[in-house]
Structure 1
Amino acid sequence: MKNYKAIGKIGEGTFSEVMKMQSLRDGNYYACKQMKQRFESVEQVNNLREIQALRRLNPHPNILTLHEVVFDRKSGSLALICELMDMNIYELIRGRRYPLSEKTIMHYMYQLCKSLDHIHRNGIFHRDVKPENILIKQDVLKLGDFGSCRSVYSKQPYTEYISTRWYRAPECLLTDGFYTYKMDLWSAGCVFYEIASLQPLFPGVNELDQISRIHDVIGTPAQKTLTKFKQSRAMNFDFPFKRGSGIPLLTTNLSPQCLSLLHAMVAYDPDERIAAHQALQHPYFQEQRKTEKRAVGSHRKACFPEHPVAPEPLSNSCWISKEGRKQKQSLKQEEDHPKRQGPAYAMELPKLKLSGVAKLSSYSSPTLQSVLGSGTHGKAPVLRPLKCIPASKKTDPRKDLKPAPQQCRLPTIVRKGGRY
C-alpha cells in the first residue's frame, strides 16, 4: 500500500471498509476495499470468491473493475483496488423530492439487467443486489461488492441468511437454503420499484414481517409453489389466503410496459420469474435496444467504411517465387495504371499461348517439365511446340491433360550381378 495515499473514508460494512485512495504512480483515484479478515497465504487470497468472480467477470462495462490485489504477508491484510465511482443508487435517491424520469429509470435498469445477464452466463449469481451495491458514474451503472456471490453450479443448500432483508426473495425466506440465481431478479425488481417511487417495496422489520408484506402486495402463492418450498423446509408452514393489493402506484410516471416487467421480476415462484436475458428482450427496453443497435452500427461504420481506400494489393506476392521477384516492379506498374480494370489477378485460367518466352517459378511441377526444355546459362527455358491433335479425338477435354506415354518413359534397367 506504499504506492497509494489515503484520501478519505467512503463507507464501512460488516466485513470491510472502503477508502478513497490516490495512486502515487499515475495520480488517479481508486476505491480501496480493505478486508477486516486476516489471511495466511496467497492461496487463501486467490481462493476468495470475490476475487475469483471479479477476475472472471472483468472486463465488462457494467461490472466494477478490479485494478489490483494488494496482500501483505506479514500482517495478513488484504486490499482490493477497484474503480472509483461517483455514488451508489441509494445515495442517488436518498432525500430526493421528485422521482427520476422514466427514461433515466429505463437506462439504469437496462444496464442492471445486462450486468446480471453477464454474471449468470458466467456461472455466478450475486445474492446481494441492493441499491448500496449498484454504483453509478456519469450515467454508467456498474454492479459491485461480490463478497456474497456463489457459483450457479455449486451444491445446495446455500446460506439461509443471505441478502439484505428488504430485497430477499421468498425462496430465501421459506426454504432451508434452496434457491437459485433467480433470486437476483427478485432483488433487481425491488430496486426497480425503489428507483421509480423513491420508496422500498417490501420494508420488513423481521423475516415474518417480510413475508407478510410480500403477501400484502402480491398475495399468497399458489399451492404448487408452497408444496415446492415445503419439500426443502424442515418446519411446516401454511398461510391464510390473501389476494394482495397489487404493487402500489406511488408514482404516475410508470408505463404499462414498466409495470409488466416489474411484475415479471417479482413473481413469487422462481420458476415463473423472468430471467435476465429475457428481461433484456422485454418491450420496456425496446428504445434502449434501438439506441444500442445504432451505437454499434455507427461504431462499425467508423471502423469499416462503405468505400474504404484500397490498400496496395498483396495477393500477387503469393504467386511470385523467389526467382521471379524481379517481376514485382513491372506487375505493380500495371496494377497502378489508371486504365486497368478488374481484379489484380485472373479469376479464371486463361488459354495457353505458346508464343514468346515466359519466366518460370522455382516451384514448377513435374508434369510441366516434360513439356518444357531446360534453360542454359541461367536463361529462361523455351517452350517446345506441342503436337496438334485432331478435333475428332478431343471427345473429353480432360484427356488432353494426360501426358503422352512417350514423355513418361522410365530409364533403362541395367542388370548387375543377376539382381535388379
Structure 2
Amino acid sequence: MNRYKTVGKIGEGTFSEVLKTLSLKDGNYYACKKMKQLFKSTEQVNNLREIQALRRLSPHPNILILHEVVFERKSGCLALICELMDMNIYELIRGRRQPLAEDKVRNYMYQLCKSLEHIHKNGIFHRDVKPENILIKQDLLKLGDFGSCRSVFSKQPYTEYISTRWYRAPECLLTDGYYSYKMDIWSAGCVLFEISSLHPLFPGTNELDQISKIHDVLGTPHSAVLRKFKQSRAMNFEFPSKKGTGLMKQLPSVSPECLSLLSAMVEYDPDQRISASEALQHAYFSESRALERQSLHHKLLLIEKANTANSMNYLLRIAGQSRRQQALKSLPEPIIRHHGPTFPVELPKLNVSGVSKTVSYPMLKFQSVFPTPANNGKLPIVPHFKYFDAKFEKEPHEKARLKPYQLPSIERK
C-alpha cells in the first residue's frame, strides 16, 4: 500500500472499509476496499469470490473495474483497488424532496438490468443488490461489491440471510436457503420503486415484519406458491388471507409501463418473475433501446470512417510510391564521367645522371630436388646457404663467394 496515499474515508461495512486513495504512480484517484479479515497466503486471496467474479465479469460498462489487488504477506492485509465513482444511489436520493425525472430513472434502471443480465449470463448472481452497492458517475451506472456473490450452478441450500432485509426476496425469507438468481431481480424492483418514490418499498423491522410488509402491498400469495416454499422449510407457516393495496397506490405518478415492469420484477413466485434479459425487452425501455441503437450506429459510422480514412491513406501511399517508381524509371541513365584523359598519354622518361650502363648480377643456379632421368631417380644433395647483410655464403667446404657491387649515387635535380 506504499504506492497509494489515503485521502479520506468513503464508507464502512461489516467486512470492509472503503477509502479514497491517490496513486503515487499515475496521479489518479481510486477507491480502496480494505478487508477487515486477514489472509494467510496468495492462494487464499485468489480464491476470494469477489476477486474471481470481478476478473470474470470484466470488462463491462456497467460493472465496477478492479484495477489492482494489493496483498501484504507479512501483515495479511488485503486491499482491492477499484475505479472511483462519484456516489451511490442511496447518496443520490438521500435528503431529496423531489423525485428524479423518469428519464433519469429509466436510464439508471436500464443500465442496472444490463449489469444483471451480464452477471447472470456468466453464471454469477449478486445476492446483495441495494442502493448502496449501485454506483454512479454522472449518467453512468455500475454495479459493485461482489462480496456476497455466488455461482448460479453451486449446490443449494445457500446462506439464508444474505441480502439486506428490505431487498430480500420472499424465497430467501420463507425457505432454508433454496433460492436462485431471480432474487436479484426482486431486489432490483425494490430499487426501482425507491428511486422513483424516494422511500423503500418493504421496510421491515425483522423477518416476520418483512413478510407482513410484502403481503400488505402484494397480498397473500396463492396456496400453491406457499406450498413450494413449505417443501424446503423445516417449520410450517400460515398467513392470514390479505388483499394488498397494490403498487399503483404506492406510485401514482409514474407511467403505466413503469408499473408493469415493477410488477413483473416483484412477482412473489420466482418461477413467474421476469428475468434480466426479458426486462431489457420490456416496453418501459423502448426509448432506452432506441437511444442505444442510435449510439451504436453512430460509433459504427465513426469506426467505418476511420477505417475508410486509413484505407484511403494506405492506397494513396501505395499510389505515391508507384508514381515515384515510374518517375525514376523514366529518367535517363546518368552519364558516367571519368576524371582521367580519354586518349593515351606516354609517361615521361626518367633521366638519371651518373649511370652509364646497366649493371647485371649473376643469378644462382639451384638444382632440382625432384628425380629426373639425369640423376637416375636419386635426390641430389642441396647445399645450405646463409644470409648475412645482403651477402650469400656457402658452407665452409665451398670457397666460392659472391663479388659485392655498389650502386652509384643518384643526384636529384
What TM-score comes out, normalization by structure 1 length?
Answer: 0.74
Change (3 A) 1:182 1:120: same
Q: Distance in 1 between matches of 2:22 and 2:197?
A: 36
Structure 1 residue 253: deviation in Å? 3.4
Q: Distance in 2 between matches of 1:261 and 1:28?
A: 39
Q: Distance in 2 between matches of 1:56 and 1:206?
A: 35
Matches within 5 A, 1:205-244: 205-244=205-244
2:14 counterpart residue number = 14
Q: Distance in 2 between matches of 1:305 and 1:38?
A: 53
Q: Deviations over 1:71-104 (max 9, x none)?
A: 0000000000001111000000011000001001
Q: Distance in 2 between matches of 1:59 and 1:253?
A: 37
What TM-score comes out, normalization by structure 2 length?
Answer: 0.75
Structure 1 residue 247: deviation in Å? 1.5
Q: Distance in 2 between matches of 1:122 and 1:96?
A: 36
Query: Which 4+ residue blocks in structure 1 deviate beyond 4 angstroms?
Result: 309-314
Q: Distance in 1 between matches of 2:231 and 2:296?
A: 48
Partner SS for 1:241: coil
Partner SS for 2:305: coil
Which piece of structure 1 moves more, 145-154 or 235-244? 235-244
Task: Give the conservation status (yes or no) of the 8 Å contact 2:248–2:259.
Answer: no
Q: Deviations over 1:350-405 (max 9, x none)?
A: xxxxxxxxxxxxxxxxxxxxxxxxxxxxxxxxxxxxxxxxxxxxxxxxxxxxxxxx
Task: Give the conservation status (yes or no) of the 8 Å contact 2:65–2:83.
Answer: yes
Matches within 5 A, 1:30-69: 30-69=30-69
Matches within 5 A, 1:116-265: 116-247=116-247, 249-265=249-265
Percent of paired sites with the same residue:
71
Change (3 A) 1:251 1:36: same
Structure 1 residue 242: deviation in Å? 1.2
Change (3 A) 1:307 1:232: closer
Q: Deviations over 1:320-367 (max 9, x none)?
A: xxxxxxxx969x97xxxxxxxxxxxxxxxxxxxxxxxxxxxxxxxxxx
Structure 1 residue 313: deviation in Å? 6.6
Q: Distance in 2 between matches of 1:224 and 1:271?
A: 12
Task: Give the conservation status (yes or no) of the 8 Å contact 1:166–1:200.
Answer: yes
Structure 1 residue 241: deviation in Å? 1.3
Q: Deviations over 1:95-124 (max 9, x none)?
A: 100000100100000000000000000100
Matches within 5 A, 1:310-321: 311=312
Matches within 5 A, 1:82-101: 82-101=82-101
1:413 counterpart residue number = none
Alpha-carbon RMSD = 2.1
Tell whether 2:104 aligns with 1:104. yes
The answer for unaligned runs of 5 or more in structure 1 is 317-327, 334-420
Equivalent pairs, count = 322
The higher radius of gyration belongs to 2
Change (3 A) 1:238 1:251: closer
2:373 counterpart residue number = none
Structure 1 residue 305: deviation in Å? 3.5
Matches within 5 A, 1:237-316: 237-247=237-247, 249-305=249-305, 308=308, 311=312
Structure 1 residue 308: deviation in Å? 3.6
1:319 counterpart residue number = none
1:405 counterpart residue number = none
Partner SS for 1:7: strand
